[in-house]
Structure 1
Amino acid sequence: MNKTKILISIIVLAILIQFIPYGKNHTNPAIISTPKWDSPRTKKLFANACADCHSFETKWPLYSKIAPISWLVYSDVQEGRDHFNVSAWGVQKRNKGDEAASEVKEGDMPMFMYPWMHKKARLSAQQRADLVAGLKATFGDK
């Protein structure tokens, strides 16, 4: 198979996968309940670095509409909401608020690739420390 046929095959495949419906639902459910934040600063830092995956206030950027990236983004948002969701606070049984501070402190959250695409999620050392302290004050700590 020559290079032209391979390139055409890749282009056709890239177009065809756009019709797979997975990852296309970008509606945000209504907010059910929210936690009582310890401060407006914690709420803002959380909104910038965490809310796209851990709330019903997800901002769906253009790249989240293009497969196969859309599949990964959708999966990450669903998993994030299932694990810890501030828009269903006190209602969703699996909320792990007491783990939030340690996840941020240890660098496990936000996910390593998220800040590359979201400038507001790039936290300075001071912002990270403030977010960790605010998460501990809001949700507790394990």
Structure 2
Amino acid sequence: MAGVEPKVGRPYLKKDTVAFGDVSGIIGVTGAEKGSMSLSFSEPAILTIVSNLVGVPVTEINEEVKDAVGELTNMICGDARRRLQDLGVTLQAGTPTVVSGKGHSISHFHDGPFIGVTFEIDSGSFVVEVAFGEHRSLEQAAARSARA
């Protein structure tokens, strides 16, 4: 992704709304499940990624960086939705919302805990969070995947 090789961390259960990073994209999903997905980047990580994407150094979180966070959120969520579609779970996504600032909050579209996974790159890290309500169709898809 964008000239970086992220190293994936272990999934964890998260219960608060404080964002991991300095800029986040969140996207709501509906269909077989209802919930949301988000990406939250540390400033050094997103500046490296966007600099690699545009081919020139980017030194601050500006509108170009926020646009890139929205696009990355859309792309990664889209890939996850395609993979779930292959398992029989159909989801539609809304338009990403981007929030920035130290200590900002992410309000997922359900009230329970959610899963986070940290990814490390040389310059920093980012977190992908997934929050769904009932998740019966996701459990069925996981069972089908395990049998395959």
TM-score band, normalised by the shorter chain? Answer: under 0.3
Q: Higher relative CO (CA 8 A, sep ≥ 6), structure 1 or 2?
A: 2
Question: What TM-score results when the alignment is normalised by the length of structure 1?
Answer: 0.27
- Higher helix residue share: 1
- Higher strand residue share: 2
Bigger-Rg structure (1/2): 1
Question: What TM-score results when the alignment is normalised by the length of structure 2?
Answer: 0.26
